[in-house]
Structure 1
Amino acid sequence: MLTPLPQAFAAPSGAAVIAEVYGGGGNSGATLTRDFIELGNAGATAVDLSGYSVQYLPGSPSATSRWSITRLSGSIAPGGRYLIAQAQGAGGTTALPVPDASGSIAMSGTSGTVALVAGTDELDCRTAADCATDGRIVDLVGFGTAAVREGSPVTGASSTASVARGASLADTDDNAADLTAGAPTPVNAKGETPGTGGGGEEPGDPGEPGAVRVHDIQGTTRRSPLTGETVTNVPGIVIGVRDSGSRGFWIQDPQADADARTSEAVFVYTGSAAPAVRTGDSVLVSGKVAEYAANSTTQSITQISGPKTSVLSSGNPLPAPVVLGPANLPDDYTPEAGGGSIESLPLQPAVYALDFLESAEGMRVQVGDARVVGATTEYGEVYVTAKPEENPSVRGGTVYLGYDGQNSGRVKIESLGPGIPEANVGDVLAGATTGPLDYDSYGGYTLMATEMGAHVPGGLEREVTRRQLGKELAIATYNVENLDALDPQEKFDRLAEGIAVNLASPDVVALEEIQDDNGATDDGTVTSERTLTRFTDAITAAGGPRYSWRYVAPENKTDGGEPGGNIRQVFLYNEERVTFTDRPGGDATTATEVVDTRKGAELSVSPGRIDPASDAWRNSRKPLVGEFRFRGERVFVIANHFASKGGDAPMHGRYQEPSRSSEEQRHRQAQEVRDFVADLLAADAKAKVIVLGDINDFQFSRTTEIMTGDGSLLTPLVNTLPEEERYTYVFEGNSQTLDQTLVSPSVVAYDYDIVHLNAEFADQASDHDPQVVRIDVKKGRK
């Protein structure tokens, strides 16, 4: 009978434990060629490892360090061992015995943390205290100077020494007491050691192809039918080599089968070892078939891990590329599974674009004369479209207009050698861009270019809006991307030019992402006076007016955003054109209320916040409400920055339709704003209300529908523009709307403009485009 693993980290384990850890495999001076983790079963019944994993964290983790994961299967017999091979180095002479599981984690030989986890999702703890509260951790070993450990870390690990428990597998939850350093002694479930079962990873005759071909490995779904199996002498031509990051190479079998669903290429993952092959090599590869996914929501990459490669010849011609375009990329993006996984569904490459791309996973693909639809990023990636007629924007991008219109022609491009040009939306990569088709959790299917098309600039220029007329009140919104007083002057100057020149000095500017005066420094500072002084000085220097400001400082660490930054919305306003109505009493926890007076609606406090105690605003920015006067008319402005889309499943992920879990909070936030606007209009049906800011949701979303009162309270102005102009942000090659301006029914005379000066450019002052509405306040009230 199999018994489940215990799920307590704090209590010593009586069954499955980490018996031995060795990170020196393949290092200089090492005998063994691979790292390994060995589990042991101190109990009297078998331990089922289905759904479990081992995970590794560097010894001195930073806030951005990630746990590396190897998923497990099978079981550990009573008193038995279970050997997990990890990354292979360039040194060593002796192979491990045939492992019971294989991963590709390149562990340090001297310091790190290994966890046995009851689950396969990545751990998120980075300290010993946090990991001690994670009930998924069954056992944990910290060695060297590891910050994450049980008790004290065990010392002595090196290229020639592992850390291991004694024969009794005693576990007192003190690594230094339970484990000692010594010569590595890997043992697999059969009891084999390098002396009795070594060489199990070696292939047979290196000159003869085995029975398994690449298309057998890839199969007709997203996951290999051979996952977990060892394959021998798989033939192919090397079509691309990646010697940094996730190291490895792609092989493609020039002898394709007749099934359009099966890819003819596969990635060979070499771990920490630099690939010892070159493009054009004819090779035979042996190793274990694995599926790698960065997290639980992304699709997986089929790969051969722990490879042994024989080069038969070099300089061979490469297989002809698959040319991506309207003829083979269907308009329908992906099959649906009712929110479930599509991984087991048979591929339909003639029906769905994601299925077509999956059927070409790893293969040489090509785009020709490709128009850039997502500017080059700081990570060296650029998005193009293989379908130039698909929802083109007015400035060369591809507009995202609905959940059922995902723009199937978008392809991300990274480089395996050629330089990535600094390209803007509308530029063209002329000629052929060719390389293996990879999959990346950040952006989906990615052409890894071995050949790059010539960069032809499209001449895109930053827009400048017109200046408001004397009778027009100009109100703008601009997300200035975590601006704080410690930022370089160049950032202030560029953002200031955007307001003074490109936005033509609006009368009121609602700013999102203004931080406190020392930014990410977490010392309790919540004021933004230095930040705003520097910013308004820069605007004046750029030719703009001397703006005044109003804001409500948040309580420390309550409004989300960058830790320590105390993000908030701010009103800038030009006192020569507009008057701000100050009503004292507004603070982080006080709600402003609508006051019904003989002269119409007023705010109880101004500036103020909408119901800051509501759970809708938990760990999120609270709306800032202000009452302005222009030409004798009262105007209410509500500046917003709704909860981010963090946590949503990717559009290209394994779950379809993808979960948009972050919407739940934005829906509640939209309801709060809607209710407040309804109160204003109940007190004065002719009230002029402008709701604007970074809504973090699309104009076609339920969030927007709720905020508008399903069309009865507010009008989203983006929908008054032609479809090809409806965007403020570019994400993964989709030009989309996240920032919005909405107006109440009495605002009837307006001129609305999204001013494109950031989102389409490789060189950005912010990742958002600002927008401005100019209204005639004397029209609409009778």
Structure 2
Amino acid sequence: MPSKSTHRRSRIAALAVATASCATYAVALTGTAHAATVAVHDIQGTTRISPYKGQAVTDVAGIVTAVRTTGSSKGFWIQDPNPDDDPATSEGVFVYTGSAPKVAVGDAVTVSGTVTEYVVSTGNQSLTEISRPTVTVVSSGNALPAATVIDAKSVPDAYTPAGDPAAGNSVNGLTLQPSAYALDYYESLEGMSVAIGSSRVVTASNAYDELWVTVKPHENRTARGGSLYRSYDDQNTGRLQVMPLNSTQEFPVADVGDRLTGTTEGPLDFNSYGGYTISASTIGTATPGGIERETTKAPSAHELAVATYNVENLDPSDTTFADHASAIVNNLRSPDIVSLEEIQDNNGAKNDGTVAADVTMSKLIDAIVAAGGPAYDWRSIDPADGKDGGEPGGNIRQVFLFNPERVSFTDRAGGDATTAVGVTKVGGKAHLTASPGRVDPTNTAWDASRKPLAGEFVFRGRTVFVIANHLNSKGGDYALTAQYQPVPRSSETQRHAQATAVNTFVKSVYAAQKNADVIALGDINDFEFSDTAKILEGDGDLYSGIKSLPKKERYTYVYQGNSQVLDQILVSPSIRKGGFAYDSVHINSEFHDQISDHDPQVLRFRP
């Protein structure tokens, strides 16, 4: 049986056929004096890390399958047209040039350079590439290797193996099992030309020319065509990101539930902002799926409607006030109480010590009136400058928006940025010591994070306690495609402490009034099945209303192809016992022209 080196020499000889003149693309090779002569699949190896990492290699032969001339990662892909018989080894690799490459698709080339593993941020998987290359064009106009078709049958149902405990749970050193795990399958194709057929869009296109599709038509399909993220062990294996190979290409505009019809083809790249990505030289056509923005049901005269809505860093300079107003009036049907998250101060991201948000709120309230809605009133507490996280200078905070024609706010002085609201018992009923007030604001759980806002409302003679939240974000958590499996979620530590503080406060309300109507709502920044939600719910202290919906409708946010829950409205046993209606109103997360990345939530009940 011929050796691998014999096969390599045969490949180079075959690529040299019909050579007119050999052009060298001159970037000096640096590395050891004795560079290894290897094939692409030798470089890629059977694990995620090349066995030649950091080493110089010479005369790596392949056909140029794609060229990237724009963006920060310029280069080209080569693929060996004569693969080995090991399904774990990729036959393609990216050659990083740093400037516009001087090769063309169809060129047969040999590449000498240094094998590197490029990682954008700690914890992510890496992209195997050849850097600092010297490239020789052997011939041009060669036929391209056939693209590997990725479809529902080829992608395994299991997402990833568990990492090696001896390596800190990293999967990098594990031998790839492409027939067993989706991430291993995709890794075995890294750098190779791949193609998908007509596929369902599961994250809308955006300003960065990114969208996500699934090659599995029926995998955890939502009621509106997305892919539901149901648990930490059900990551939706059919998801792939699609981006144009070059920014000069026309890119489709698509919403969740649309189809990317026809063939989408290009090298399978890996980037740490989206994982496995088809850098598409050929992009399918977006065919509309027909979803429309939803409208909730208006409350009856005896129902109280309470909503939460993250308006995404709203400040007076924004152009979205009329759009948000229309959403509140027309899609949410003017709820009686709205918890707004991410209201910024009067000059937005300008960092000059401004903390007041009265200009922001006046502009929103005026826009709501202009849209035909009620003249809302509002309550909030200005944060201490720079202490609540979010965009620097923005001083985001939660705000209670309420319709004074339907509900009254109980004002009690004493609430400020650092004073904790308490609960007292007056005439057998719970009363807040300050309304509005902040929940345990000096607790270290709220360091560089938004403090909960508590308020006391009265509807038809019945008191309702509302706690508006915006818990710690998931910033710092590793991606689902991380090298560490199971994926570490470091942001949970602070969120769990925050959930504990909120639950403790809720318990203090019940201690004063067992049957009190309590609502804790907002951008919880965690899933309905998460430990954060479980801590908030406690031992029956609260119940996340979104769990009353059919599973296919449980999402408020769409991220990297997963429709998931971040925004929640949790209710006390008294509200749950009396019955309620819950609606996740899908007006943003599934659409390319969203005004926020969150969908608002609405609860209706009779206090």
Q: Does 1:291 align with 2:121?
A: no
AA of the residue aligned to 2:266: G
1:437 maps to what in 2? Answer: 268
2:586 maps to what in 1? Answer: 756
Counterpart selection for 1:255 from 61, 64, 82: 82
Q: Does 1:573 align with 2:399?
A: no
Q: Does 1:265 align with 2:95?
A: no
**1:367-382 pair list within 5 angstroms:** 367-382=196-211
Deviation at 1:448, TM superposition (A): 0.6
Counterpart selection for 1:301 from 127, 131, 134: 127
What is the alpha-carbon distance in structure 2 between the residues aligned to residue 327 and residue 487 of structure 1? Answer: 46
Q: Does 1:419 align with 2:250?
A: yes
Deviations for 1:208-248, whole angstroms, at most 9, x for unmatched residues? Answer: xx951110110000011111222211111111111122010
2:9 maps to what in 1? Answer: none
AA of the residue aligned to 1:348: Q
1:469 maps to what in 2? Answer: 300
Deviation at 1:529, TM superposition (A): 0.4
1:715 maps to what in 2? Answer: 543
1:621 maps to what in 2? Answer: 450
1:106 maps to what in 2? Answer: none
Counterpart selection for 2:567 from 739, 745, 749: 739
Deviation at 1:281, TM superposition (A): 1.3
* TM-score when normalising by structure 1: 0.72
Counterpart selection for 2:558 from 730, 734, 738: 730
What is the alpha-carbon distance in structure 1 between the residues aligned to residue 334 and residue 147 of structure 2? Answer: 52
Deviations for 1:687-736, whole angstroms, at most 9, x for unmatched residues? Answer: 000110000011111000000004x1111111111111010000101000
> 2:339 touches 2:522 (CA, 8 Å); kept in 1?
yes
Deviations for 1:51-108, whole angstroms, at most 9, x for unmatched residues? Answer: xxxxxxxxxxxxxxxxxxxxxxxxxxxxxxxxxxxxxxxxx99976x6458xxxxxxx
- Gaps of at least 5 residues in structure 2 are 1-23
What is the alpha-carbon distance in structure 2 between the residues aligned to residue 521 and residue 429 of structure 1? Answer: 41
**1:225-624 pair list within 5 angstroms:** 225-244=51-70, 245-271=72-98, 273-337=99-163, 338=165, 340-417=169-246, 418-488=249-319, 491-624=320-453
SS at match of 2:116: strand
What is the alpha-carbon distance in structure 2 between the residues aligned to residue 621 and residue 739 of structure 1? Answer: 15
Counterpart selection for 1:695 from 512, 517, 524: 524
What is the alpha-carbon distance in structure 2 between the residues aligned to residue 230 and residue 93 of structure 1? Answer: 17
2:502 maps to what in 1? Answer: 673
Deviations for 1:637-694, whole angstroms, at most 9, x for unmatched residues? Answer: 1100000110111110111111100000000000001011111112111100011000
What is the alpha-carbon distance in structure 2 between the residues aligned to residue 93 and residue 255 of structure 1? Answer: 24
1:214 maps to what in 2? Answer: 40
Deviations for 1:124-154, whole angstroms, at most 9, x for unmatched residues? Answer: xxxxxxxxxxxxxxxxxxxxxxxxxxxxxxx
Greater helix share, structure number: 2
Deviations for 1:17-60, whole angstroms, at most 9, x for unmatched residues? Answer: xxxxxxxxxxxxxxxxxxxxxxxxxxxxxxxxxxxxxxxxxxxx
What is the alpha-carbon distance in structure 2 between the residues aligned to residue 373 and residue 100 of structure 1? Answer: 44
Deviation at 1:317, TM superposition (A): 1.8
What is the alpha-carbon distance in structure 1 between the residues aligned to residue 279 and residue 410 of structure 2? Answer: 57
AA of the residue aligned to 1:431: G
SS at match of 1:746: helix
Q: Structure 1 residues 93 and 579 mapped into 2: Cα distance closer, same or farther (>3 Å)?
A: closer
Deviation at 1:310, TM superposition (A): 1.5
Counterpart selection for 1:658 from 487, 505, 514: 487
Q: Structure 1 residues 280 and 746 mapped into 2: Cα distance closer, same or farther (>3 Å)?
A: same
What is the alpha-carbon distance in structure 1 between the residues aligned to residue 601 and residue 372 of structure 2? Answer: 19
Deviation at 1:486, TM superposition (A): 1.9
> 2:428 touches 2:512 (CA, 8 Å); kept in 1?
no
AA of the residue aligned to 2:593: D
Q: Which moved more, 1:328-337 or 1:533-542?
A: 328-337
What is the alpha-carbon distance in structure 2 between the residues aligned to residue 362 and residue 234 of structure 1? Answer: 14
Q: Structure 1 residues 578 and 95 mapped into 2: Cα distance closer, same or farther (>3 Å)?
A: closer
AA of the residue aligned to 1:457: P
What is the alpha-carbon distance in structure 2 between the residues aligned to residue 436 and residue 539 of structure 1? Answer: 48
**1:97-136 pair list within 5 angstroms:** 99-100=30-31
Deviation at 1:419, TM superposition (A): 1.8
AA of the residue aligned to 2:46: T
AA of the residue aligned to 1:459: G
What is the alpha-carbon distance in structure 2 between the residues aligned to residue 528 and residue 228 of structure 1? Answer: 53
Q: Structure 1 residues 774 and 277 mapped into 2: Cα distance closer, same or farther (>3 Å)?
A: same
1:67 maps to what in 2? Answer: none
What is the alpha-carbon distance in structure 1 between the residues aligned to residue 393 and residue 203 of structure 2? Answer: 31
AA of the residue aligned to 2:586: H
Deviation at 1:315, TM superposition (A): 2.1
What is the alpha-carbon distance in structure 2 between the residues aligned to residue 536 and residue 767 of structure 1? Answer: 21
Q: Which moved more, 1:650-659 or 1:336-345?
A: 336-345
What is the alpha-carbon distance in structure 2 between the residues aligned to residue 394 and residue 420 of structure 1? Answer: 26
**1:86-165 pair list within 5 angstroms:** 99-100=30-31
The percent identity for this pair of structures is: 56
Deviations for 1:507-547, whole angstroms, at most 9, x for unmatched residues? Answer: 00000000110011111111100000000000111111000
AA of the residue aligned to 2:162: E
SS at match of 1:328: coil
Deviation at 1:328, TM superposition (A): 1.4
Q: Which moved more, 1:649-658 or 1:259-268?
A: 649-658
Q: Structure 1 residues 638 and 95 mapped into 2: Cα distance closer, same or farther (>3 Å)?
A: closer
What is the alpha-carbon distance in structure 2 between the residues aligned to residue 367 and residue 282 of structure 1? Answer: 25
> 2:31 touches 2:56 (CA, 8 Å); kept in 1?
no
Higher radius of gyration, 1 or 2: 1
Deviation at 1:738, TM superposition (A): 0.3
Deviation at 1:466, TM superposition (A): 1.3
AA of the residue aligned to 1:475: V
Deviation at 1:372, TM superposition (A): 0.3
SS at match of 1:655: coil
SS at match of 2:504: helix
> 2:25 touches 2:134 (CA, 8 Å); kept in 1?
no
What is the alpha-carbon distance in structure 1 between the residues aligned to residue 558 and residue 27 of structure 2? Answer: 49
> 2:25 touches 2:102 (CA, 8 Å); kept in 1?
no
AA of the residue aligned to 1:586: G
AA of the residue aligned to 1:775: F
* TM-score when normalising by structure 2: 0.93
**1:146-185 pair list within 5 angstroms:** none
Q: Structure 1 residues 310 and 399 mapped into 2: Cα distance closer, same or farther (>3 Å)?
A: same
Q: Structure 1 residues 400 and 95 mapped into 2: Cα distance closer, same or farther (>3 Å)?
A: closer
Matched residues, number:
576
Q: Does 1:705 align with 2:531?
A: no
